[in-house]
Homo-oligomer: A and B are copies of this chain.
Amino acid sequence: MARARTGRRPGDSGTRDAILEAARGEFAQHGYDRATIRNVARGAGVDPALVHYFFGTKTELFAAAMQLPINPAELVQALLAGERDLIGERLVGTFLSVWDHAANRDVFIGLIRSAVTDERAAAMLREFAVRELFGRVAVTLGTPDAELRASLVFSQIFGLAVARYILRIEPLASAPGPVVAAAVGPTVQRYISGDLA
């Protein structure tokens, strides 16, 4: 038993941190798709069941390890719950409401910088975002070309994040969130459910 080997008990205050640390290493090394809970558990010296117990699914573990302030599954549900015509605007508004808080932004900016300069970080972000966020929305909606749609949404959200928070291009950087959501929302809406040709 790995857990017996390190002597960690589920209640140890360091156990969660050890799992998150192992998860960051596992995602960085293998990317999102090929990372496994089993490897994370082995790296942290705990039983896989404990990883599930603390963090749930691989998606949720990723969100916790990357300090993402959003639970992807809940985000997708919330987006799909309201008016279908306004999914794009809600999606943009949700991202902005999270990122507009400086405390949420640092880890996220680090993710973007790594992804643009390092191929393994790129693979990790790519796989996570397309599969767990945008892909789910498109697949749930049942539109054709779901993967192309997901990657188009990614391109706009990623570019918006860079322009607003990293390059700080005005007036986009200082515009109120709702103004930006109104401007960019229809783009995302069309990518998700509109005519692309």
A-to-B contact residues, CB < 8 Å: 112-113, 115-117, 122, 125-126, 130, 147-148, 151-152, 154-160, 162-164, 166-173, 175, 179, 182-184, 186-187, 190-191, 196-197
Contact = CB atoms under 8 A, between A and B. Distances in A.
A151 B112 CA distance: 19
A159 B169 CA distance: 14
19 contacts: A113-B116, A115-B167, A116-B166, A116-B167, A122-B166, A122-B168, A125-B167, A147-B171, A148-B172, A151-B170, A151-B172, A152-B172, A155-B164, A155-B169, A158-B159, A162-B162, A182-B196, A182-B197, A183-B196
B151 A169 contact: yes
Contacts of A164: 155
A152 B116 contact: no
Contact of A148 (B159, B168, B175): B175
Nearest to A163: B155
* Count of this chain's copies in the oligomeric assembly: 2
From DSSP, what is the main secondary structure of chain A's interface residues?
A: helix
A62 to B, nearest CB: 17
B155 A172 contact: yes
Q: Give 9 closest A-B pairs by Cβ, nearest first.
A: A159-B159, A151-B172, A155-B163, A155-B159, A183-B196, A151-B169, A158-B159, A155-B160, A187-B187
Nearest to A183: B196
> Which of A147, A186, A187, A196 is most buried by chain B, counting CB atoms within 10 A of its CB?
A187
Contacts of A184: 152, 155
Contacts of A126: 167-169
Contacts of A183: 148, 152, 191, 196-197
A147 B122 CA distance: 31
Nearest to A117: B113
